[in-house]
Amino acid sequence: MPENGIPSVLTGALQFGIKPGLERINRLLELLGNPQDEVKAVHVAGTNGKGSVCTYLSTILACDGKKVGVFTSPYLERFSERIRIIEGREGAVAFAEDDSTGEIPSDRLNELSDKVKAAQDQMLAEGMEHPTEFELITAIGFLYFAEEKVDIAVLETGLGGRLDSTNVLEAPVATAVCAIGLDHCKVLGSTVAEIAAEKAGIFKAGVPAVCLDPDDTILPEEMKGDVRRVLTEKAGETGSPLTFIGVKDALETVSFGDDGKMSFELDGRRYSTVLNGRHQVANAALAIALARLCKASEDAIEEGISLSRWKCRCEILSFSPLVIIDGGHNPQGAESLASVFGDVLGGSLKGRPIRVVAGMMADKDVKGVYEAYRDGGLNIAEAVTVRPDNPRSMDPSNLSEIINDVYNNKVQTLEAQSPEEGVRIALERSKADGMPLLVTGSLYLAGQVRGYLKGII
């Protein structure tokens, strides 16, 4: 297995790119004995927030005494993050202290990869198209959860829903659709209605579905109506009982402590979480609704919300100087992040000049992201631009130009040779002048520098 922990069967599949469709994954799983049929699961889709919903729900279910499989993407620091098992309350507590807890061991990953490769080779011998990397990972996840006999698994879709390789579950316990926005338009559709239809493709006959109320998202009004209409229509077509989860009342109860935590009230009960941001109230509310469908106790729900951790989502790494790292990479995520910065630590950061380490993928709406930061009140005084280790990364000088175009040339920009150099320079400057530091723009950037940054703070 390569040093990065990715099995060779997967690195060899990178060249096959993204190919939505279920024919390949269905045959692959059939050759493996259909392990997905042995896994009781909850299935979560959405543009933003699905990872947070999955971590909230899996932690709650673990606090309820369950052995919980968790399948998420992408990974940030280690490939094994994508497939983990959190076993009971002790596992949830351990995960809150060490985010590597429960990750699939390398020997098991290697063993299961060999099994999946044998099935892949059989497919190719039959004349079938080569499975994609994500399909192979999905197969490994289902095999692992089936062999380990998890009580329940929480599965995050990779892209879309209808044709996503995780959508082979015939009868999940429940499904959920989080906030929907315009992302991956080349694959999923150019309108939110088309994207919503793809996300709703995970609905199943007789299986309850919970969806974030479109009125509680940051979409334009006309798009909110489109999302509601499409989700309602798709639920009716599939025979899936649909509930929209609204959080307007809960949002009025939100408070931010100087300890970096946020609390809110929902259904007469107060919850506390380290996942900051008003958008996290919606994610928590969806997870709570799903947990109740899974018959989790109210005490387990409260404790699970408190213990939940999801790194690089407005994650506070240090208080002095304040260092926050976030993987947001689209305007919707940027708007949420700007809102968080104005609220976190009791609102003490609102309007304060901040320093950013910025790196983005060139195929993202980079200008839209920085316009969302600006319009959300993020007062960027200095930006250290870097190129994340990815062939799609934007050139730092181009990123600097976009930032100053949006901020009317009011941002002092520096360009670093590497992301590690960028965070080192920025941290040294923030230690000297006390200016809050934000590392943002891409999950690739966040994953690349998080461990290094934690080591030098």
Q: In this predicted structure, what is the pLDDT of residue 2?
A: 41
| 201: nearest Cα among 173, 229, 227, 164 | 164
Residue-wise pLDDT tens digits, 106-118: 999 999 999 999 9
Whether omega for the bond prior to residue 74 falls within 30 degrees of 0, making it cis, is yes
CA distance linking residue 307 with residue 319, whole number of Å: 20
2 falls within a domain: no
- Tokens at 4, concatenated: 């990065």
Predicted TM-score of the model (pTM): 0.90
404 falls within a domain: yes
1 falls within a domain: no
Q: In this predicted structure, what is the pLDDT of residue 7?
A: 77
pLDDT < 70: residue spans in the chain = 1-4, 9, 11-18, 182-190
Are residue 72 and residue 117 in the same domain, yes or no? Answer: yes
Q: In this predicted structure, what is the pLDDT of residue 13?
A: 55
Domain CATH for 402: 3.90.190.20
Q: In this predicted structure, what is the pLDDT of residue 195?
A: 92
Bridge partners of 175? 43, 209
Residue-wise pLDDT tens digits, 13-72: 555 556 778 999 999 999 999 999 999 999 999 988 999 999 999 999 999 999 999 999
- Which parts of 126-212 fold into alpha helices (H)? 133-147, 185-188, 192-199
Are residue 211 and residue 270 in the same domain, yes or no? Answer: yes
Are residue 296 and residue 339 in the same domain, yes or no? Answer: no
3 falls within a domain: no
Are residue 280 and residue 369 in the same domain, yes or no? Answer: no
Are residue 229 and residue 319 in the same domain, yes or no? Answer: no
Instruction: Decide: 174 and 42 in contact? Cβ < 8 Å.
Output: yes
Domain CATH for 68: 3.40.1190.10
Question: Domain count of the chain?
Answer: 2
- By CB atoms closer than 10 A (0-12, 13-18, 19+), residue 247 is buried
Are residue 252 and residue 173 in the same domain, yes or no? Answer: yes
49 falls within a domain: yes
Q: In this predicted structure, what is the pLDDT of residue 125?
A: 98
Q: In this predicted structure, what is the pLDDT of residue 69?
A: 98
Are residue 335 and residue 444 in the same domain, yes or no? Answer: yes
Instruction: Indicate the residue among 275, 307, 339 that finishes a domain.
Output: 307
Are residue 285 and residue 324 in the same domain, yes or no? Answer: no
Are residue 157 and residue 177 in the same domain, yes or no? Answer: yes
Instruction: Indicate the residue among 288, 307, 326 that finishes a domain.
Output: 307
Are residue 25 and residue 114 in the same domain, yes or no? Answer: yes
52 falls within a domain: yes
Instruction: Indicate the residue among 269, 286, 307 that finishes a domain.
Output: 307
Are residue 337 and residue 226 in the same domain, yes or no? Answer: no
Q: In this predicted structure, what is the pLDDT of residue 188?
A: 55
Full DSSP string of 106-117: HHHHHHHHHHHH
Q: How far apart are the first and last CA of the chain?
A: 32
What is the spatial order of strands in the sheet that 83-87 belongs to? Answer: 83-87, 67-71, 152-156, 41-45, 174-177, 209-212, 242-245
164 falls within a domain: yes
409 falls within a domain: yes
Q: What is the domain extent for residue 30?
A: 8-307
Are residue 247 and residue 352 in the same domain, yes or no? Answer: no
